[in-house]
Chains A and B, each alone.
Chain A
């Protein structure tokens, strides 16, 4: 890996909790981000000092790079980001024990769970045509197939997310839940199908050095999109709980 990657990758991972928690705060109107920002700044300064004192050779060592990428990420996320979200959610009144009697459905387009299997079969055929023989060549397609098989059960799990009704206008709240559920289902569907077909493509199996870098970039992009989707869902859940409590929305 290049020296730029050795610096940029851990630095981005250090900044990630503040970036995503900041997005959550922006969407929900909740404050209290300062301790996380200060801790992130302190960690970045420590990383800079480490790099300057020990030199680029140390940063190039995989275990050093991974340690700087993962330890601060987890510490900042669980030490500052998650507690901020929990404090904000706990400050809302407990939801009433009231619910709609309408069953919920996935509401995707017809054939939504069929065409990805056809696309996967086409990718597998392309892989065989390119002359794949090693069992390792089929690891990606196997993981992709497992993802496609798990797609419907995983999306159905999302339907079981609690949707307690109440507040000043339960009808409007039920509509807001339905809108959120539909968007979340569609976004998760798109992400999971793209990921399953992406890892099944022959380009991943036969990738050379450049292909490997592109694969790493695509993996990072999927991770970032997943985190973005999770953050957006958490923000929407908070806003729905706010609507349930009857409190005015942020900025009102």
Chain B
């Protein structure tokens, strides 16, 4: 299930892009499966068509989905495909740690969140 938070500081488009990436990474939508049509997802979420279309385009630019006329938008990458270089992952984790620290989280709290998320992913 994809959920958007109207009270979050991020715009809906960004939340949608992240949510879809997460769904693909966690295998909720497997490689080869279709994402819902833009109109359907926009109607369900109560957001503008362009917001969903832009999120799909961003995912296509990242190489996670491919849109073909008449066949809809399908997932072409999965969690096992084309792993990021380790240095990229480290840099992203450092950025995330910096964000969490600036938001007031202690190292202990961040570790607890990381562990909980990893446990959930591996369950």
Contacts and interface: CB of A to CB of B under 8 A. Distances in A.
A208 interface: no
Interface string A148-166: 0000000000011111110
Contact of A103 (B1, B5, B23, B37): B37
A100 B35 contact: no
A102 B44 contact: no
A165 B19 CA distance: 15
Contact of B1 (A95, A99, A162): A99
Contact of B36 (A103, A164, A165): A103
A95 B46 contact: yes
A101 B3 contact: no
Interface in B35-70: 35-37, 39-41, 43-47
Nearest to A164: B44
Contact of B47 (A97, A102, A163): A97
Contact of B3 (A96, A160, A161): A96
A99 B41 CA distance: 7
Contacts of B45: 97-99, 164
B4 interface: yes
A103 B40 contact: yes
Given A98-B2, A98-B3, A170-B1, A162 B35 contact: no
A153 to B, nearest CB: 13
B24 to A, nearest CB: 9
Given A97-B3, A98-B1, A99-B1, A162 B36 contact: no
B11 interface: no
Q: Which of A97, A98, A102 has the most CB of B within 10 A?
A: A97
B9 interface: no
A161 B72 contact: no
A104 interface: yes
Q: Which of A96, A101, A160 has the most CB of B within 10 A?
A: A101
Contacts of B40: 103-104, 159-160
B76 interface: no
A101 B6 contact: no
Interface string A83-126: 00000000000011111111110000000000000000000000
Q: Which of A95, A99, A162 has the most CB of B within 10 A?
A: A99
11 contacts: A98-B45, A99-B36, A100-B44, A103-B34, A103-B36, A104-B40, A160-B39, A161-B43, A162-B44, A164-B45, A165-B1
Given A97-B4, A99-B2, A100-B2, 16 more contacts: A97-B6, A97-B45, A98-B1, A98-B2, A98-B3, A98-B4, A101-B20, A101-B29, A101-B35, A101-B36, A101-B41, A103-B72, A160-B40, A162-B44, A163-B44, A165-B1
Interface of A: 95-104, 159-165, 170
